Structure 1
Amino acid sequence: MKFSPYIYEPDKSIEVYRETEKFFEANPDIKKRIEELGWIYHTVGMIVPQNFENFWSGHYFPFIDSWEELQVSFTQICFGLYKQAFVSLRSGLELGLLSVYFNINDDGHNAVKEWLNSKDNTPRAGKIWKILRQNDNIKKFDEKHNLKQVHEDLGYLHNYVHTKGAKHSNRMGLLKSNSQTFEEKLISKWLHSYADIISLVSTLHLLKYPISVIRFDYSKKFGIDIPSFGGLEEYNIDKIASILPENYLDDIEIIAKEDPTTQETIHEISSFPDMTDEQVEEQIINLEKMSIENGEGFTKWLENQEKLLKSFGQSEFDEKMKTRIELLRQWATENDFLESKAKRMGWNI
């Protein structure tokens, strides 16, 4: 569809997207890198503690909005809107820092309120770093690795917000016409900036919540119902470590060992009795019951389990799973949960 007199038309972006798709198909390593960085940032979000007091408070909003800005930035890259993609990167970076800033004293559920309700302005970088360095872990790490300088090195993103000349404008590109074009070098430049942002924001979250780098099998103590207190499974620690500069993780692990709150928490968790297999199975059953009752119903649930089984190249459930299925089948039949909740309630969805 054409919109006169506009030259930056949606149709042009669709053309660029087709070229971008071909580029990613021809360069699977770049596609994989973008996906890995996205999963790493998603994992960092698991570090921010959640509890009944703060769950709906908005303390998590800066991180969520940061992640959304980074996703929007990627989409803009795909459609040839490169200047806007770098602007969104800057927003993602700023919001990522605010995630730590507002939660620096573990009272984010209160500290974030005025800003969340658009009453307070977003603090400037100088104020953000002044507050961040009030945290002993961040201050100690910053003195050695100069994180603030890492942030300042990303200051060029500001140039896209305020259009510092042609190279930071919508005319970015080698053979740029006055409309969207596919620009391979700008994708590479974007990816470099994206990785630097994720590395910095990840580092700050690890320092604020150093329990996140403690290697501990929380499933032994909590089963599948692990509380959101900042702890990560070991493979997630390694995942984040893969994008950090050399020695970053080693130094954060040292900080974690010396951090009183972290050590007290781990000591307390270690004192809990291990979960039995029966207790874990009960957790799984209860979780599946919730899914069946409030969502897809038993029939669809079983279909999905069978699809999952085949995706793993298997043809038959093990005995534990067979027992679980029969228990859930009987429960669902007795309670009329075979069909989805929408169908049972007569919702026209």
Structure 2
Amino acid sequence: MIRKKYMKFSTYIYEPDKSIEVYKETEKFFEENPEIKKRIEELGWIYHTVGMIIPQNSENFWSGHYFPFNDSWEELQVSFTQICFGLYKQAFVSLRGGLELGMLSVYFNINDDGHNAVAEWLHAKENREADTPFAKTIWKIILQNDNIRKFNEKHNIETVHKNFGYLHDYVHAKGAKHSNQMGILKNNSQTFEAELISKWLKSYADIISLICTLHLLKYPISVVRFDYNKKFGIDIPSFGGLEEYNFDKIAAILPDKYIEDIKLIAKEDPTTQRTIQEINALPDMTEEQVEEQIINLEKMFIKNGEGFTSWLDDQEKQLKSFGIEEFDNEMKARIELLKKWAEENNFMEPKAKRKGWDI
């Protein structure tokens, strides 16, 4: 087997090919430690789920109020990628960025006017109001929220945040310990460091725990167990509520008593209780109404995506992935209905092919 030769750059020692070699060792490490790989995956899903808590409506959908959280999630993913390639200092710098952006998600939306509050910062205007606020300013604002203030008085989460101050040292390279020289096996290029992966994972998990907690406190309806499918079917509006299985994922990683105390806060939160009462007063969805929602959603995927033929292939692959050989009668009827509709409307093939796009 001929080893692929990577491009070389004279005078540079931190070359891309070194990172590729480190990545191979990182892959092997995850294969030999599947529990660590699983932990990283679970934490990623949990953080992604927290984004579902932030309300989206016609007024704020394109406003940018969701940008800080989304960018936080992207920054954390970049941090993970840097860990995989042996860029450990940079990974911790990105962790700090993810933490800061996660805090800003709560800060800008603290008064439910994030669609306005975020505007100047989002567009990087040349004024002081557009500057990213210091941590002290962020806490001054978010502690004006009664839920966060009460919880902080008991659990001191402001100190939890201050304890992440060590991440600042990676940004400014406080000595060799926080520089590109960090690592037991370190020479003058990228190296695989199992201990640094463990250290990174601890920081990653702690950051996700704190940002999750703050979002649950800002939107305490998220901790209320309620069967929203019964009232909304598959089209649950984005108002801060979580389906129970998503709530359970988040609850599993938080410190003892956190969920218990946030639930107590939710019971005393007027907005939460009023919203739950309004939802509970809605009529239950019928099976026919839910099926109509499903049909309309699948029609949208077929019409605007790969067409019916590819859609059906995907359904069959998914079926087999669960070890099932045949669709149930309900799904068979759905397929027949969608096939007839697709044939009548010329949606059998992908949209790009139907439109003659050269992709």
For Structure 1 versus Structure 2, the TM-score category normalised by the shorter chain is over 0.9
Q: CA deviation at 1:317?
A: 1.1
Match of 1:259 among 265, 269, 278: 269
Structure 1 residue aligned with 2:55, among 34, 49, 58?
Answer: 49
Q: Name the structure 1 match of 2:183.
A: 173
Alpha-carbon distance, 1:85 to partner: 0.2
Percent sequence identity is 79
Task: Give the one of 95, 102, 115 matched to 1:109.
Answer: 115
Query: Counterpart of 1:188 in structure 2: which amino acid?
Result: S
Matches within 5 A, 1:289-304: 289-304=299-314
Give 2:326's aligned amino acid: E
RMSD of aligned C-alpha atoms? 0.5
Structure 2 counterparts to residues 36-185 of structure 1, below 5 A: 36-119=42-125, 120-185=130-195
Partner in structure 2 of residue 25 of structure 1: 31
Deviation at 1:175, TM superposition (A): 2.5
Aligned amino acid, residue 192 of structure 1: K
3-state SS, counterpart of residue 267 of structure 1: helix
Verify: 1:212 aligned to 2:222, yes or no.
yes
How many angstroms apart in 2 are the aligned matches of 1:314 and 1:245?
Answer: 39
Q: Deviations over 1:175-209 (max 9, x none)?
A: 31011000111000000000000000000000000
Measure the CA separation in 2 of the matches of 1:310 and 1:44: 31
Determine whether 1:347 maps to 2:354.
no
Q: Which of the numbers 223, 226, 231 marks the counterpart of 2:233?
A: 223
Q: Amino acid of the residue matched to residue 270 of structure 1?
A: N
Offset, 1:312:
1.4
Distance 1:315 1:276 in 2: 29
1:318 deviation in Å? 1.1
| Post-superposition offset of 1:53 | 0.7
CA distance in 2, matches of 1:124, 1:177: 36
| 1:332 pairs with 2:332 | no
Q: In 2, Cα distance between the equivalents of 1:302 and 1:117?
A: 43
Deviations 1:192-251 (A, max 9, x none): 000000000000000000000000000000000000111001111110011100000000
* Cα distance in 2 between the residues matched to 1:158 and 1:275: 51
Q: Which residue is 1:193 aligned to?
A: 203
Partner of 2:3: none
Amino acid at match of 1:298: F
Q: What secondary structure does 1:52 align onto?
A: coil
Q: Number of residue pairs matched? A: 349
Larger CA deviation: 321-330 vs 58-67: 321-330
Unpaired segments ≥5 residues, structure 2: 1-6
Q: Give the whole-Å Cα distance in 2 for the aligned partners of 1:318 and 1:215.
A: 30
> Aligned partners of 2:76, 2:317: CA distance in 1, in Å?
32
| Partner SS for 1:129 | helix
Which amino acid in 2 is paired with 1:183?
E
Residue type at the aligned position of 1:35: E
TM-score, normalised relative to structure 2 = 0.97
Matched, 1:311 2:321: yes
Q: TM-score normalized by structure 1?
A: 0.99
